[in-house]
Amino acid sequence: MSIPKGLATLILCCTFLSAPALSDCCGPVPMPSEQIKLGSGWSGSLFFEHMDMSSLRRGTKEVSPDQVLTERLNAGAPAFSVPTRMYMDRASAQLRYQFNPEHSLRLTIPWRFNQMDMRMASRPGAGGGGHGHAHHRIAPQMDHHNTGAEHDHHQHDEMGHEAHAEHHHAEHGGHGGMNPAAPMFMNMTMDQTDGLGDISLAYNYTFQLDDNTAWVGGGVSLPTGEWDERGGGGGLIHNMMQPGSGALGLSAEAGADLPLGDSKFSLHPRASVQWNARNPLGYQRGSRLDYELGSRYQVHERVGLSLDLVGFMAQKDTSNGTIDPVTGRVAFQSPQTSLVDDVINTGGQFLFIAPGLRANPTEDIALGIQYRLPIYQKVHGTQLGIDSWYRVFMSARF
């Protein structure tokens, strides 16, 4: 079968599969193409992914946290908070059983680690903005006699997590004095949240297109992860910090391995989509389509270089306004005081260039690493963009 025909087949599969998808920031845990080569029977993979988000964006442009905070205060908000950096890590164990050359099942168990830095601004008399809103999790003891120098404190937020805060005034009065009408700014670091994510089970059908290997599949993700974690004061932590979604999910995927004749080059297009239902508190993570056009160059019999174009498109999250029975407020939403707790600021389009290295030390073991650098980002609303993202894996046949 020719390469153009194989690509056309994959495009048709991806078009058919382009349904709503689950918005997990790291995306679905993939099945490495190397795992297919391990043959029938049991095989497994271990993945680790790290995503660093440290630039606040509005559409395609970067915007400073202080600009956003000043805009919100000028619009009348007594206090407002924005994220300034977030780390998302995911470690996953994947177990696969190949019944025969065509049929296989794949079980994926993820464990997630999330940490976020935030910056908050408040007007005098707003009390720091932390007491009446679940998303503002620090009630600082402001030093109103400081002269502008920053003060470091360890405090406990209303989640019961310890957070490190630095606060200072943006403006100062004459003779080194403080302008009492100036807003107060404070930097905060939330404690890391970690826990089991949503476990998924997928079925794959593998078939041959002449000399090419292709597959299609579908699966389900179960609401096994913690999705309603609360702080000591009973408030829900940010939805994007929750390890799980709290809802059933469906997925579909397609891919192919296309050698370019007798050369050492090959193409590896693939795509996946997932969809999540609404969780019991009315929050639904946006739909998402992940896609990849991979290329490989076999440097040695057991070593290959890769250069991929990787991207995803995510729709906005939605909330139906369900009231959290503990706090009496809309669950996971507080758009008046928090950039993170607003579904307007979710989803977007992202494209990366991704060099990588893959190796097969033995016939039963495959190793790989891929580093993703963003080349295009367009976010909905104002939110953190993705600055770097890497993924490492090891696969083995038992």
CB 68, CB 382: distance < 8 Å: yes
CA-closest candidate to residue 93, choices 398, 311, 303, 394: 394
Cα(279)–Cα(225) distance, rounded to whole angstroms? 12
Within a domain: residue 167? no
Domain count of the fold of the chain = 1
Within a domain: residue 233? yes
DSSP assignments along 310-341, one per residue? EEEEEPPPEE--PBPTTTSSBTT--TTTBSSS
What's 359's domain CATH number?
A: 2.40.160.40
Within a domain: residue 133? no
Residues in Cβ contact with 82 at an 8 Å cutoff, skipping those fewer than 6 apart: 56, 65, 68, 69, 118, 119, 120, 339, 340, 382
Tokens for 32?
A: 């490495």
Within a domain: residue 158? no
Amino acid at 207: F
* Whole-number pLDDT of residue 203: 97
Residue with tokens 């009315």: 282
CB 328, CB 235: distance < 8 Å: no
What is the helix, strand, coil percentage profile of the chain, to 5? Answer: 10, 50, 40
* Whole-number pLDDT of residue 363: 87
Cα(218)–Cα(31) distance, rounded to whole angstroms? 12
* Whole-number pLDDT of residue 25: 59
Cα(289)–Cα(39) distance, rounded to whole angstroms? 28
* Whole-number pLDDT of residue 124: 78
Within a domain: residue 174? no
Domain membership of residue 252 as a residue range: 3-119+193-397
* Whole-number pLDDT of residue 123: 86
Tens of pLDDT, residue by residue over 354-384, are 999 999 999 899 999 999 999 999 999 999 9
* Whole-number pLDDT of residue 262: 86
* Whole-number pLDDT of residue 31: 62
* Whole-number pLDDT of residue 266: 93
Rg (CA), the chain: 24
* Whole-number pLDDT of residue 59: 96
Within a domain: residue 208? yes
Instruction: Give pLDDT < 70 ranges for the chain.
Output: 1-26, 30-39, 125-181
Cα(121)–Cα(66) distance, rounded to whole angstroms? 8
* Whole-number pLDDT of residue 318: 98
Within a domain: residue 166? no
